[in-house]
Amino acid sequence: VDHFHRELGKVMWQECAMSRNKKGLENALDQIKLIKQEFWKDVKVTGGKDELNTELEKALRMADFIELAILMCTDALEREESCGAHFREEYQSEDGEAMRNDEDYAYVSAWEYDKGEFILHKEELQFENVKPTVRSYK
């Protein structure tokens, strides 16, 4: 289990950190799917049935981590803008500032998991009292 945890961590750190790009996210999804296949084929859970099995707990958490990693990369790939802690390298100004797209992405992403697939539901944001504005950190 520890091997899969390390490999998944490397992929996420390299391709789905704060600064991301389409090619890296697509690469991450491919790598994570391979990790998922290897995990379910090769995972070994030791320990006994008559006591708390921490290896089984780790394996179950790892299975969740894999699905969460797929969702994180899918969501980052879906959002074609830079905003907050999500910085897509393709969406920046010449000065390196984040380029938001409030017209197309003023929603909260709510993801549903159904039969092995993630389905995006968009919960639109209503700005009544405060309107979104560009923030510059320079």
pLDDT for the residue 137: 67
Q: Is residue 129 part of a domain?
A: no
Cα atoms in the Cβ-side hemisphere of radius 13 Å centred on 93? 12
Considering Cα of 18, then 59, then 42, then 37, what sign does the dihedral take? Answer: negative
Q: Is residue 51 part of a domain?
A: yes
User: Do residues 97 and 40 lie in contact, with contact meaning Cβ atoms separated by under 8 Å?
Assistant: no
pLDDT for the residue 129: 92
- Please report, in tens digits, the pLDDT of each residue of the chain (138 residues total): 999 999 999 999 999 998 999 999 999 999 999 999 999 999 999 988 889 999 999 999 999 999 999 999 999 999 999 987 889 999 998 988 889 999 999 999 999 999 989 999 999 999 999 888 777 766
| 3-state secondary structure string across 51-68 | CCCHHHHHHHHHHHHHHH
CATH code, 86:
1.20.58.100
100: left (phi > 0), else alpha (psi -120 to 50), else beta? beta
Number of domains making up the chain: 1
